Amino acid sequence: MIRSIVHIDQEKCDGCGLCVPSCAEGAIKIVDGKAQIAADNLCDGLGACLGDCPRDAITIIERDADDFDEAAVEKHLHEQQAAAPLHKTPATAAPQEKPAQPAQHHGGCPGSRAMSFAPATPAAEAPAAGSQPSQLAQWPVQLLLVPATAPYFQDADLLITADCVPFACPDYHRDFLAGKAVVIACPKLDDMNANIEKLTNILRSSSIKSITVLRMEVPCCGGIVMAAKQALAASGKEIPFEEVTIGIRGEVVKR
């Protein structure tokens, strides 16, 4: 099938290996001093490795490739872990702590309880200068924490925000957040497959009127746009879609 997949320019690649640990699926390996995709079905095509290449040798292309296979990824990672050299703990070393338990996204934490509320001051009435009131009208905002069927998604304009954007954009609340339901995610550090699934469920369960994706100008941030587009396609709906790119100094680079 034709799909998005990582492409590594062998002429540009110098084999530095910075891209290898950035690929959560373990799809990239160094062969004869060059980075290569180990197998097409291990690459999700989201491009988390893009920003780690100092030679700009990594791009996302559309080509005929095997489907991304989560089961194959799990097996591959298990094999990599089994093949890794074991480091014995010296007898004098302190005993190791027990492995941390996986984070629970939908437990009983009061901080993740879904809430809707009115902004402190409507955007139209906000003062032009001085302290600006929050335009946030819901909680939580992290994509993996929001309930897909939350009432604040009904008949809403959805703002999907890369989580670095509000730190860079000084007028984020006024120019983008006001009047919208919002979810935030990090395309580089998050499990983007889980994010795509959650976004798909939100779009299927709710009457979203429009989608705006706010991303940073860094290459790896393109993953959040791709995730939103994949979720929209999977939902089977036609919803107006806008992509806005924010520069690292806070300016709107492209919309």
Q: Which domains are assigned to the chain? A: 2-82 (3.30.70.20), 114-119+133-254 (3.40.50)
Residue ranges of alpha helices (H) inside the chain are: 19-22, 70-83, 165-168, 172, 192-205, 222-235
* Residue 129: per-residue pLDDT: 58
CA angle 143, 149, 153 (to 5 degrees): 75
- What pLDDT sits at residue 116? 62
Do residues 205 and 149 touch, judged by C-beta distance below 8 A?
yes
- Across the range 85-114, mean pLDDT stands at 41
Look up residue 251 and give its two tokens: 């300016």
pLDDT of residue 17: 80
CA angle 148, 135, 153 (to 5 degrees): 20
Q: pLDDT at position 14, please?
A: 87
Are 220 and 51 within 8 A, CB to CB? yes
Q: Does the pTM of the predicted model rise above 0.85?
A: no
Confidence label for 232 from pLDDT (cuts 50, 70 and 90)? very high
Per the structure block, which two tokens stand in for 16?
A: 């530095």
Residue type, 223: G
CA distances from 152 to 10, 112, 161, 210 (A): 48, 15, 16, 14
Sign, Cα dihedral of 47, 18, 65, 79: negative
Q: What per-residue confidence (pLDDT) applies to 112?
A: 45
Determine the Cα–Cα distance for residues 178 and 162; give it in Å rounded to an integer.
17
CA distance 156 to 208: 5
Is pLDDT at 100 greater than 60 in this prediction? no
Going along 18-151, which residue ranges are E strands? Answer: 28-31, 34-37, 58-64, 115-116, 138-139
Average pLDDT value for the chain: 83
- Asked if residues 172 and 165 have their Cβ atoms less than 8 Å apart, the reply is yes
What is the CA 143 to chain-centroid distance, rounded? Answer: 9
Helix, strand, coil percentages for the chain (3-state, nearest 5):
30, 20, 50
Residue 166 to residue 102: CA distance in whole angstroms: 28
pLDDT at 19 over 70: yes
Question: Is the pLDDT assigned to residue 224 strictly greater than 70?
Answer: yes
CA 15/CA 5 separation, integer angstroms:
20
Residue with the bigger pLDDT between 189 and 50: it is 189
Distance between start and end Cα atoms, the chain: 30
> What does the block give as tokens for 238?
């036609």
